[in-house]
Amino acid sequence: MNQHITSAMSQAFGRFASKEHKKYFQNIINRSYVRMMGLDMSEFDAPDTYPTLNALFTRKFRHKRSFSSDPKDMISPCDSLITECGKIEDDTALQIKGMRYSVDEVLGEGISDDAKKSIHNGTFVNFYLSPRDYHRYHAPIDMQVLHAVHIPGKLYPVNIPSLKKQVNLFIENERVVLECLSGEGKRFFMILVGALNVGKMVVSFEPRIQTNSNALNPSQYSYRELYLSKGDDFGCFMMGSTIVMLCEQEMVEFGISTGHKVSFAQTIGRLTF
């Protein structure tokens, strides 16, 4: 399979965003991006302190956000817009209203049939991170990571207009699938979906995953004792993108709806154990 043009375009943008330009020019780039996108920098360092545009994209908080310590509370893994959420009907979920996709297909061949079946008739949430959002992602609960699967693919935009017109966008785009367990042994998946101009999707616990590269075949990684605590930072998008969460039946009752804007650390659901 030849590299798709969306991947080539995104690699070119990634090289520009990763380049450390002369200080005065970098300051112009950073300030222009903040102004153009309307970034709220109140929780972050000043734009002039970031040596590259990617450093600005992947900025960290000056002070950690607080969140509920109740182990039953699930928090949002990111700052985002909820583009869709609801019940998985058999193996079908919504990309956006009127546009469905198969969760089995989005999980890919690297996930076992039994693991796929465990989330049939469960629940799903699609988190869309716009270019103005905080780009890092965090563990929504205390969790164990069983597998990570990198699936190369295209890099179509994942904004609302694209979700409405591009059939099977989540299935065609590059993605990283994380198979996880809650503390009570309930299975869920976090799927990091690439998008146009996403220079990289970084998974901090698995440096072998190199996205937006020349990889053409899926790669799989398994773990025996990999645990993340609620709120742990485990990577970032280098531009806006989407996280899809797929949960087993009777694992969580979500308190959010389509169209809600959520922030990392905000309680979005309650585990039902």
C-alpha separations of 25 from 20, 30, 54, 123 in Å = 10, 9, 15, 46
First to last CA, the chain: 45
Give me the catalytic one of 138, 147, 150, 182. Answer: 138
CB 95 within 8 A of CB 161: no
Q: Known catalytic residue: 79?
A: yes
Query: Cβ atoms within 10 A of the Cβ of 205, count?
Result: 15
C-alpha separations of 131 from 79, 151, 158, 244, 264 in Å = 11, 23, 11, 17, 15
Q: Which residues contact 213 (CB under 8 A, 6 or more apart)?
A: 152
Q: Known catalytic residue: 241?
A: yes
**CA 64, 68, 71: angle at the middle one, nearest 5?**
125
CB 103 within 8 A of CB 116: yes
Give me the catalytic one of 7, 10, 79, 147. Answer: 79
Residues identified as active-site: 79, 138, 241
